[in-house]
Amino acid sequence: MSDERGGDPIFVLDELVLVPGALEPFLEALEKDYRPGAEARGQRLLHRWVTPPTTAGGVAHTVVLVWQLRGVEGFWKMRSQNSTPEIAAWWADAGRFFVSRTRRWAAEADGLPALDALGRINA
């Protein structure tokens, strides 16, 4: 699924281990306060995976967010705008919901040669 603006899609995988009981407030804050800006930066939210798959109270959930970017150009657009004070403030405030957060980048295995040909994507 290559596109003319930077090759095959790049995926952002955000994994957040939430404090017990924080699932609903985190998802509400994500939808209300983070997702609209992320989509304006070119991030398309594909999945909001939750484990364990229950809404039982007192459970420490892990949330995996899968975002899609438009190739290398979309990756650098997101990276250049993710260091703004507004985004840093959102993540600092959202820190009350989670005990750890990991962000990784991925691509389809078949798309790696095309991404390599476009240049460096890791900062």
pTM here? 0.87
* Residue found under tokens 């820190």: 95
The per-residue pLDDT for range 18-74, each reduced to its tens digit, is: 999 999 999 999 999 999 999 998 999 999 999 999 988 889 999 999 999 998 888
The per-residue pLDDT for range 65-109, each reduced to its tens digit, is: 999 999 888 888 888 887 789 999 999 999 999 999 999 999 999
Domains annotated for the chain, with CATH where assigned, are 10-117 (3.30.70.100)
CA 47, CA 40: separation in Å to the nearest integer?
17
CA 96, CA 115: separation in Å to the nearest integer?
36
In the chain, the amino acid numbered 27 is L
